[in-house]
């Protein structure tokens, strides 16, 4: 069993890390309150259209991975399983549990934005501008998350992870059937999760940014706080984002 844990942890460590500079433009001219109102109404419409699909995708796969983890743990602990079946269920339990952890620690940025904006005051021009910046930044981060999902890294991470898990079953425990089931099932589920990720926000953000180049801008007077770190989904593993 120690060999099983070591291989799976090594597979998780292969989850690619990414580092990129913050591409937010510097804030220059403050838009008029009339423009802020119009832009805020537009962004709120985008949030209403895109938050629900993101939430459905997230809750569906979180429930699916959670149910698989719980079921595998119960079967692995059952006294009715033989040693080979217990190994199979243990691998499935570890894989599903890691998938749950990645989703819990990397919630799509769009989820909860509507409630956050509703709770922000907008009685003064300054408050409305601050609200606009928060909404725009949420769209930007969601679009960046979608762009990362569409890159080659998550798909490669999923393939590497499932290959490592199935190799553990085959080479470490001679479980040929379970190895095939793990690799094909893992790739279908992992890549399916990537393919079904809602992508509407990316197109909306691009059109919005082309129309308003200062969208989600960074205040020029705000000093840099150094590197910022963010954990993101990489198939069935974790990816580390470092922003400078």
In the chain (244 residues long), the average pLDDT of successive 10-residue segments reads: 40 39 76 96 96 96 92 81 81 87 90 95 95 96 94 87 84 83 83 93 95 87 47 49 51
Tokens 């969601």 found at: 142
Residues contacting 71, CB < 8 A, separation 6+:
none
Furthest CA-CA distance within the chain: 71
Q: What is the pLDDT of residue 123?
A: 95
Q: What is the pTM of this model?
A: 0.76
Strand partners, 237: 234
Q: What is the radius of gyration, based on Cα positions, of the chain?
A: 22
Question: What is the C-alpha to C-alpha distance for residues 150 and 154, in angstroms, rounded to an integer?
Answer: 8
Q: What is the pLDDT of residue 211?
A: 95
DSSP state of 197: S
Helix (H, G, I), strand (E, B) or coil at 235: coil
Q: What is the pLDDT of residue 129?
A: 96
Q: What is the pLDDT of residue 160?
A: 87
Q: What is the pLDDT of residue 219?
A: 77
Tokens 């692995």 found at: 76
Q: What is the pLDDT of residue 146?
A: 95
Q: What is the pLDDT of residue 19?
A: 37
For residue 28, the Cα-to-chain-centroid distance in whole angstroms is 32
- At 14, list the tokens: 């292969």
């Amino acid at each position: 069993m120690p060999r099983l844990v070591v291989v799976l942890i090594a597979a998780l460590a292969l989850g690619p890390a990414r580092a990129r500079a913050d591409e937010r433009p510097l804030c220059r001219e403050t838009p008029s309150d009339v423009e802020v109102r119009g832009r805020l109404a537009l962004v709120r419409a985008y949030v209403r259209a895109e938050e629900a699909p993101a939430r459905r995708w997230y809750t569906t796969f979180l429930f699916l991975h959670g149910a698989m983890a719980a079921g595998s743990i119960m079967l692995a602990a059952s006294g009715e399983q033989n040693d080979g079946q217990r190994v199979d269920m243990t691998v499935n339990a570890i894989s599903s549990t890691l998938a749950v952890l990645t989703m819990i620690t990397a919630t799509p940025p769009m989820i909860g934005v509507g409630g956050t904006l509703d709770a922000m005051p907008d009685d003064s021009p300054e408050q409305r501008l601050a609200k606009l910046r928060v909404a725009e930044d949420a769209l930007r981060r969601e679009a960046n998350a979608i762009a990362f999902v569409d890159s080659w890294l998550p798909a490669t991470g999923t393939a590497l992870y499932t290959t490592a898990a199935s190799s553990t079953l085959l080479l470490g425990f001679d479980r040929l059937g379970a190895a095939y089931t793990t690799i094909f099932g893992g790739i279908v589920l992992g890549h399916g999760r990537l393919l079904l990720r809602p992508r509407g926000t990316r197109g909306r953000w691009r059109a919005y940014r082309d129309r308003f180049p200062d969208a989600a801008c960074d205040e020029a007077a705000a000093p840099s706080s150094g590197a910022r770190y963010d954990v993101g989904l990489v198939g069935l593993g974790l990816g580390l984002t470092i922003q400078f």
